[in-house]
Structure 1
């Protein structure tokens, strides 16, 4: 008698493994949720703003908890930065009248140093949440947000204004609502530069972690438990062994964030690349493959998917479902005149009030002094941007165009860019003290540790986004190397480089407030410049001089952006958009 044996189908063999994947994803989500609950207990701890600042322990046993608190602040600020980027950049790119106000405002916001925001916001957040550490936590997160948001906003805005015309026409023909167009056209089109600039912005947040966790305002010191305040405390105590330990923990934490978060995002963003041929080797991520094999993300998508229709109906009620029809040139000019006059009136009123406040306190003669200091810092910024361009553009193109190199170099670059360079300041300060080198020159090196990566990251993003079919065509034509650079690579990466250059310059101005005055134990080194001027005024709670310093720095940054970078932006939009 024949015996019939049944063999399991391929689907049946796949189910146990898929179940294990679902278990792993659920376990990871549960662990993350448990960690958030544990960390949230310290966020709402009692706090007395009049009491002396709590001492930060330099015991290595407390370092893991401090690192987790800092990481939580970083991700909360990142979520807020992404939301701000979507709203602000879309408004600046899609609303013609709003663009005339939002772009100059973004230039000014980028130029305002983090300490300038802290000097105003700390007391406000403490008053908003009296008797709770939550107010100080919000001030710290807001400071990190101001170090992250501007770079991402510039990158997403540039992707929107350089969007291919055929995509815009297809969106109008298909009559996509604003909500549909945003998620199906705008966000996918800007995903690659947004992810890469998100990584860079995350690194910018790490750079100002010490300033945001150990805050000196109005001659009062506020401290929060975190790895930034741990480094500050160890530096004040001249405990280089604990500083090195914190650096090791930071390296481990940055690598972990890269593996679990940024690497999956960069691999996932490749699906939004627009080209006719597929790259030979696409980025890969074990974590992303795990999530793709799990049924939980798809189930979550099915739950959230129906929410789009009610949002479209709500937007339709307010007249936002379709793009508005173009108005006549006469009405447009008349509306622009009224809008421009109203904006200028508000600006003029604010300037008059600010000038009167400065005149009645420190005197108007403080402005020429601050502008002179700003000229010295401006020279350092120019040197930094030029050197970063010459060094990192070729390296960024090499990394972005070679998948094998990118797979090996990307984690290294992310660690270097995400690592808070001011953690090295105690070591560099000790070296400067030992060698006798002036901080007037050493400050350029300290500023570059935090600002040069903007150029590299944007060039890598621009080079990796070059369509593969264009690269294959250049290879088929056997273009000479010089012609390959001039006709393909430099035009292709030009929009991304402009974003990197403008944010690197802004980041250098911001970095000057922590690079022009550094401390190591009882030794304080001070460089001549506007950054040191703002840092000293903030520490002393001298609001008139804070206003003068912020105004001088904003004037330099806005003038440079309007006279130089904006012209290059327009050139990139007109001639070098794929």
Structure 2
């Protein structure tokens, strides 16, 4: 028997004692970190409330001093965060309603097609004037207008993603929920949200990136004779780009990249690691995405205590009440079956419901006809020559949109599959992609445009580059989500049978990512049309450069307050996008819901 020296026993005992002390103190450190984050958020809310509920500032001067950047960055982050929360709520509500109401499904999806095709600047006059009218004596009116405009640039791809996920839920999971008699709420929280989590998370990332893209247009814009501008990072970058102040552009981009990196590590990385558990597969994956912050939150005694004594009891009470209401409704139906009402009462009830429904429909129809009549009155002011130039611009923008989609798809599909299949690569590439997607192409556009002009190009080519920079991320992030959602057991089967690369792409990868790819292409197409308002009409060095295109028509009409041209150009853009969706994307959606739906 080998006898260890006493010094070794002493060192070993000291190491164990330190480990025990660390084990006792580490949860306390985690609780302090969580408490610090909570206090910082509370202080930010207080400061923001003081500014928002103060009197509106008639004209705000944007300072290009680097000292103003922390305050501007805080305001922009809050606007994008609130717009994202509104987008998430809207996407879940809208997608759920469209997926499970066949009577209005086609109408709602058509409405979604139209809404995503309307540029941000087309929402601007009505949204901003309405918000300022609601809060005429408070700064919150202009702030809410900017938030709603950012919302219109974020929400549509999230709604499409959630709707597509609901339509592609495997049949055996739906049947299991039906067999166990899940309520609507239980089905939502136990099946639908978990199954849609991966796609919703990655589309959330690209939505926030879209919010940064349109931030410059939403924080600083001109509407006729009125100049609306807000202190923020977007207005800082636009002012710097307009004046050609290169140091200010660099300072703004560095600040924005720092915010994006912090957002990736503090928000998206934990959420991606958390959503990985909702992957639909029969075997456990060999590697998982991890996050230090998620580990802190999961092992915090404070959060665990809050959840144990607040969230869990609230959820239990909620589900008990839902179950009780379902049992009471079932008992009422049983009593009604045993004691049926007379035919006269049933007829009278149906007649009252029909009258109320008809009244609501008539009211909506009258409102639509009233708005349409006034819109047609505006359109009568447009000359035939202006109509011809608008149609010419529509054809030019259609060409640029399709070129940008082809160029974007050529690299995003293979890159997205590689990132989704290799977690180690995802840990490196995902933050870089998030940074690249979130940096507004409009901030880099002056450099790109000046380089193209020196090479003999111009805004016609530069607008394609800007559209591609702004919309390629919709395809990339959806393809990544689709590749991550492919079950591990299917990948292992392809390896077991020694599929060639062509066979893997034809039988596994393309069918597996197909629903996500279609969602990405649809939203990228709408995003490209939306980006045309910036890509075809740009201010640099106090000069305005523009090319032939529908986006240029909309931007110029907004600057000059020509609402009749703005309305006509928006209608034409919406009609073109909806026609493309009906002829191309909608049949592909049906194919994704039937042939390429994952199920046993």
Q: 2:141 aligns to what?
A: 135
User: Does 1:539 pair with 2:570?
Assistant: no
Q: 1:212 aligns to what?
A: 218
Q: 1:251 aligns to what?
A: 257
Q: 1:455 aligns to what?
A: 475
Q: 2:30 aligns to what?
A: 21
Cα RMSD over matched residues?
Answer: 2.7
- Cα shift at 1:77: 0.6
User: Does 1:98 pair with 2:107?
Assistant: no
- Cα shift at 1:109: 0.6
Check conservation: 1:119, 1:541, Cα contact below 8 A: no
Q: 2:526 aligns to what?
A: 506
Question: Of 307, 313, 318, which aligns to 2:314?
Answer: 307
Question: Of 337, 357, 360, which aligns to 2:377?
Answer: 357
The 3 A distance-change label for structure 1 pair 380 and 174 is same
1:381-415 per-residue CA deviation (whole Å, 9 max, x = no partner) reads: 11111111111111111111111111111111111
User: Does 1:561 pair with 2:562?
Assistant: no
User: In 1, Cα distance between the equivalents of 2:203 and 2:88?
Assistant: 11
User: In 2, Cα distance between the equivalents of 1:187 and 1:369?
Assistant: 46
User: In 2, Cα distance between the equivalents of 1:508 and 1:214?
Assistant: 21
The 3 A distance-change label for structure 1 pair 484 and 351 is farther
Check conservation: 1:235, 1:520, Cα contact below 8 A: yes
User: In 2, Cα distance between the equivalents of 1:61 and 1:117?
Assistant: 33
Secondary structure at the counterpart of residue 184 of structure 1: helix
TM-score by length of 1: 0.91
- Cα shift at 1:350: 6.5
Q: 2:51 aligns to what?
A: 42
TM-score by length of 2: 0.88
User: In 1, Cα distance between the equivalents of 2:532 and 2:28?
Assistant: 52
Q: 1:328 aligns to what?
A: none
Q: 1:32 aligns to what?
A: 41
Long gaps (5+) in structure 1: 326-330
How many residues matched?
558
1:333-386 per-residue CA deviation (whole Å, 9 max, x = no partner) reads: xx9xx99x9699679837852663234322577555423321210111111111
1:499-534 per-residue CA deviation (whole Å, 9 max, x = no partner) reads: 100000000000000110111112221010000000
- Cα shift at 1:81: 0.7
Check conservation: 1:429, 1:520, Cα contact below 8 A: no
1:236-262 per-residue CA deviation (whole Å, 9 max, x = no partner) reads: 222111111111111111001000001
Secondary structure at the counterpart of residue 290 of structure 2: coil
Question: Of 286, 289, 306, which aligns to 1:283?
Answer: 289
Check conservation: 1:178, 1:320, Cα contact below 8 A: no
1:120-172 per-residue CA deviation (whole Å, 9 max, x = no partner) reads: 11111011111211001001100111111101111111100000111111111
Question: Of 416, 437, 446, which aligns to 2:466?
Answer: 446
Check conservation: 1:399, 1:460, Cα contact below 8 A: yes
Check conservation: 2:515, 2:593, Cα contact below 8 A: yes
User: Does 1:527 pair with 2:547?
Assistant: yes
- Cα shift at 1:11: 8.3
- Cα shift at 1:15: 3.0
- Cα shift at 1:548: 0.5
Q: 2:5 aligns to what?
A: none
Check conservation: 2:379, 2:564, Cα contact below 8 A: no
